[in-house]
Amino acid sequence: MNRIFEKSSGGIVYRKQKGKIEILLLEWENAKREREFVIPKGHMENSETAKDTAIREIAEETGLAVQDLEIIKFMSKINYSFIATYKE
């Protein structure tokens, strides 16, 4: 099996409302047609920094305005892997 390494960036989106913290998750269907909940994220484009990608992807996937988004804490690296069975 070939391994493909890709860089992506995204973030945890939250707001405080009426004394509670609400966290935004996106619902999508994976390649096995199973429902999953994920944080907004996406692939880095050629000249983008990870922070720029995170803001762009969150705005694109949630419909939130870029000017309404703020990075509070940036985690420079998180590693995870998955098998893209749809490519087999």
Is 61 inside a domain boundary? yes
Provide mean pLDDT across the span 67-80.
83
Q: Round to whole Å and give the CA distance between 38 and 5.
A: 19
Query: In this structure, is the dihedral angle defined by the CA atoms of residues 66, 13, 23 and 61, taken in order, positive or negative?
Result: positive
Q: Round to whole Å and give the CA distance between 2 and 63.
A: 35
Is 86 inside a domain boundary? no
| Count of domains forming the chain | 1
Is 20 inside a domain boundary? yes
pLDDT digits (tens, 9 = 90+) for 13-69: 999 999 999 999 999 898 788 999 999 999 999 899 999 999 999 999 999 999 999
Q: 88 is written with which tokens?
A: 């087999």
- Taken as a whole, the chain contains a residue count of 88
Is 87 inside a domain boundary? no
Q: Which residue has the tokens 């694109």?
A: 60
Is 83 inside a domain boundary? no
Task: Assess contact for 60 and 48: CB atoms under 8 A.
Answer: no
pLDDT band at 86 (very low <50, low <70, confident <90, very high): low
Is 48 inside a domain boundary? yes
The whole domain housing 72 covers 8-76
